Amino acid sequence: MAEEQPIYIIKKIVKGGGHHGGAWKVAYADFVTAMMAFFMVLWLLSSSEQVQKAVGGYFSDPEGNGKQVGTQQAGAGGESISLAANDMEKLKDKLEEAMRDTPQFQKIKEQVKMIVTGEGLRVELLESDVGTFFESGSPAPTERATVLLGTLAQEIGKLPNKVFIEGHTDSKPFTGDYTNWELSADRANTARRVMQMYGVRADQVAQVRGFSDQALRVADNPADPSNRRISIIIKYLDAPPAPLKADKKGGDAHGGEAAKDGHGNDGHAKDEHAKDEQAKPAAAH
């Protein structure tokens, strides 16, 4: 009798609901992309005109071969956020506009001087009989100094330009080991620290210099309070523009002795700058 062949019964066990496809993932990804684009549009609409131009310039020129925007690196198209870093007159107007919005600026505007020199744009914060920017005989800044330096730093920090910071004193001597050399250098370093807190980059400050009383602003009055000052020089990116043609009196159309001597002491007489030329500053390390 032939053997019966065994019968095998195969049952398929299906777990869960089975595979429903991945179409929902594609739809969800499209939704997230659309939401991101929507929020980017809202952000651009609320951004400044400069940011809008920078973003628009990127899409017009993604390789960055267009105009530069605020740095020395090739960037997106549009106008320079820094208002042309080598156009010191426009930069001067920009800084003056920013400072006008600071509290109490009207009370101290006569103590803030700006002049374009052979080095770049020189911004000077001049002391008065009552101090104004620093405590008497001290590198400790006043609230006014912090606010004003912070406002300047926010604008200067947008620039690719290097910055020099100088400290100057009058000729009134100190008693003891602490002299005008230490005071001028300490005040310049204080200004540097405040400005770096508010936007000036660490690698943007090229020099911090203490002059003591060797570059007086008012040479015929060594004790004049305006000789005590902080000078912030925003350097040209490249070589400065050619000087204006000198007139018969030996100065240019803007009182150009200040633009030639490297000190730029706000258009003072030629003989005062001749004395400044002879002064040898001591760098503050």
Same domain, residue pair 206 and 167: yes
Helix intervals (H) in 178-249? 180-197
Which pLDDT band, with edges at 50, 70 and 90, does 13 fall under? low
> Average pLDDT in the 201-214 region?
94
> Average pLDDT in the 13-29 region?
71
At 109 the pLDDT is: 85
> CA 237, CA 47: separation in Å to the nearest integer?
28
Half-sphere exposure of 31 (CA within 13 A, CB side): 6
At 201 the pLDDT is: 93
11 part of a folded domain = no
Tens digit of each residue's pLDDT (9 = 90 or more) over 109-135? 889 999 998 889 999 999 988 778 998
Which pLDDT band, with edges at 50, 70 and 90, does 257 fall under? very low
257 part of a folded domain = yes
The pair phi, psi for residue 111, each rounded to 5°, is -100, 5
Note whether 222 and 150 are within 8 A (CB): no
Same domain, residue pair 101 and 131: yes
- Please tell me the pTM assigned to this model: 0.56
Same domain, residue pair 239 and 117: yes
**Is pLDDT at 42 greater than 90 in this prediction?**
no
At 89 the pLDDT is: 86
**Is pLDDT at 94 greater than 50 in this prediction?**
yes
> CA 101, CA 92: separation in Å to the nearest integer?
15
> CA 2, CA 60: separation in Å to the nearest integer?
87
> Average pLDDT in the 102-109 region?
79
20 part of a folded domain = no
> CA 262, CA 77: separation in Å to the nearest integer?
35
Going along 103-162, which residue ranges are E strands? Answer: 112-116, 120-126
The pair phi, psi for residue 168, each rounded to 5°, is -130, 150
92 part of a folded domain = yes
> Average pLDDT in the 264-275 region?
41
At 130 the pLDDT is: 76
Same domain, residue pair 105 and 241: yes
Same domain, residue pair 60 and 121: no
218 versus 68: the higher-pLDDT residue is 218
**Is pLDDT at 137 greater than 50 in this prediction?**
yes
Nearest to 257 by CA among 274, 281, 232, 282: 274
Same domain, residue pair 76 and 97: no
Which pLDDT band, with edges at 50, 70 and 90, does 56 fall under? confident
SS3 content of the chain, % helix, strand, coil (to 5): 40, 15, 50
175 part of a folded domain = yes
At 64 the pLDDT is: 52
Give the range of the structural domain holding residue 29, as residue numbers without chain letter. 25-81
> CA 158, CA 27: separation in Å to the nearest integer?
42
At 283 the pLDDT is: 38
Same domain, residue pair 64 and 92: no
Same domain, residue pair 107 and 167: yes
Q: What rounded mean pLDDT belongs to the chain?
A: 75
**For the chain, how many structural domains are there in total?**
2
Tens digit of each residue's pLDDT (9 = 90 or more) over 157-204? 988 899 999 999 999 988 778 999 999 999 999 999 999 999 999 899
| Residue 279: C-alpha distances to residues 117, 151, 189, 212 (Å) | 18, 31, 21, 10
> CA 169, CA 250: separation in Å to the nearest integer?
29
12 part of a folded domain = no
